[in-house]
A and B are shown apart, each in its own frame.
Chain A
């Protein structure tokens, strides 16, 4: 809030009296967040410590501050938790490996095609997320263009299938979140003044050293933003696992989904949601600290 006070103070120096304008401008946003974010979160927190009502009616719970819900929920789904983070990490790393060269080429080598290429990166967003995910089922399926050649090259056995596997889930997530990685990377690479790269060459750095010492460090904000924008939704994702996976590739998102909507076990679902949120928050805090880019975010 320091910036608000500073803004208010600055307004003071012009008018001579305290200005309420910055606070008034903030009001609609605050109201929206209170009603649609803070209240639901509190409600979720309350739900997470409830236990079944004495009546035994399905879906009816009362508040008993039963914190053991958290322990039980974790013990029951730790496998899915671990899988969520492993899959999300893999998808993030793959997306980074694919996006960095892509973003680099668009930013530095594409000339007049630059804007068109950026549009192409975003273009998949014009079709539905679900549809794109289902399409991967076809692509990786028995009659798709991937399995045949891989079998012909003996890279996979004749009986091996690619659908309904961890591979398909990670592939789907990588694909679906690719633009979230590419756009921030492109934005930070595009912002680099080409003259700083020329200066590095002028100061005895060859192409690779220039990349290592100048280009990459200057693109770090994009790397951090891209990995966060990919990792956070990927860790909570359940659509890819549901459509492209099998029962043994279930992620925590799938567990929450079934607890909420199929078993109507609200307290467990709420406890799982909170744990997922906490785990992601802790991970990204450590990550941002380690990457030394606090000031850049």
Chain B
């Protein structure tokens, strides 16, 4: 049997991959390089093409155009069973008729590898479930099945491990715990992990690099901090966390900064944080980066005055304010409850301030709501 798992190692390279269905492109001319040994997340709302991309890497779908390489080996047309790639499926897809032991041993047996026993024992130890070897999958809890699915894939030491929403079926608490464990296991075994998820928090907690997908294309790719702090489009700004986006105009340039006019008030933004195409911008600032003070306070930095609190929600670690600005827009502010000062009240007049390095500017011609209302149901 063709066994490429030992011969081809290296970076995964997708070159101009397209997957077309009769009426639309699920993946549209996508190019991507994933470094060997990294934890890479493909993030996006459902229907963005992330799962199709994963299935093409696994060999379960054939790309309409483009090529896929691992290192120097072209795997574009290889059958799934010929690829040095293993997958942890969304609903685990364990073999219901086989014991946990045989489930994990399946890949080794197919490749005719000797000494199955010690490898399976090691894999079971890695996921901390050695006592379940003789059970059948339906006797296990969701979390346990998830770990067995992981062990069944990892034992083969693939060049690439693909994870298709592996934590989607788990409850919140278990999911958080598995996120930490997955990250630890990835470090431990040193394999390249490609993780598909629609949960931005999951992607950001685990991955070294996150690619945010939208309509079959990569919207932006980078480290989690880079994507969060320096979004290049409205979709990224709204999909990852929350953003206040205010219509503005670049009116001046001042060293490393642009001066932006927001309904008559002047603020600044780093030029390196601006993806504006012309003077028209959407000025962005994250709610937790804003400071809120009574209107008579005096703080340096970027300031917007004339706000009025229309809603206050106290949620323990922080207090969330909705502040109505003079031009009618409501701005969201998250204030840490760490200073012992009682929260401000509804109706109070306030001013908002922030460090200029925390703001960003986007192309003002984009739809300011893109990416903000997707995936609410999941």
Contact = CB atoms under 8 A, between A and B. Distances in A.
Given A206-B81, A209-B110, A200 B89 contact: no
A27 to B, nearest CB: 34
Interface residues of B, number: 26
A150 interface: no
A293 B252 CA distance: 79
Interface string A74-105: 00000000000000000000000000000000
Contacts of A193: 91, 93
A40 interface: no
A218 interface: yes
Contacts of A205: 81, 106, 110
B89 A203 contact: no
Counting chain B CB atoms within 10 Å of each CB, which of A206, A218, A220 scores highest? A206
B211 to A, nearest CB: 22
A218 B138 CA distance: 14
A290 interface: no
- Chain A contact-residue range equals 10 to 19
Contacts of B111: 204
Contact of B152 (A203, A206, A220): A203
Given A206-B1, A209-B110, A201 B93 contact: no
Contacts of B58: 202
Interface string A175-206: 00000000000000000010110111111111
B94 A196 contact: yes
B94 to A, nearest CB: 7
B85 interface: yes
B93 A199 contact: yes
B60 A200 contact: no
Contacts of B87: 198-199, 202
A202 B97 contact: no
A28 to B, nearest CB: 34
B79 A195 contact: no
Given A195-B89, A198-B80, A199-B89, A204 B95 contact: no
Contacts of A198: 60, 80, 87, 89, 93
B97 A203 contact: no
Interface of A: 193, 195-196, 198-206, 209, 213-214, 217-218, 220
Given A200-B106, A202-B58, A203-B110, A218 B97 contact: yes
B18 interface: no
B81 A196 contact: no
Contacts of A204: 1, 3, 81, 107, 110-111, 156
A209 B93 CA distance: 17
B95 A202 contact: no
B238 interface: no
A195 B59 CA distance: 13
A205 B106 CA distance: 9
Contacts of B152: 203
Given A198-B87, A203-B106, A206-B1, 11 more contacts: A193-B91, A195-B90, A196-B96, A199-B93, A199-B95, A201-B80, A202-B85, A202-B86, A204-B111, A218-B95, A218-B97
A200 B79 contact: no
24 contacts: A193-B91, A195-B89, A196-B93, A196-B94, A196-B96, A199-B87, A199-B95, A201-B59, A201-B60, A202-B86, A202-B87, A203-B110, A203-B156, A204-B1, A204-B3, A204-B81, A204-B107, A204-B110, A204-B111, A204-B156, A205-B81, A205-B106, A206-B81, A218-B96
A204 to B, nearest CB: 4
Contacts of B110: 203-205, 209
B298 to A, nearest CB: 62
A217 B106 CA distance: 14
A212 to B, nearest CB: 11
A201 B89 CA distance: 12
A216 B79 CA distance: 21
A80 to B, nearest CB: 40
Contacts of B60: 198, 201-202
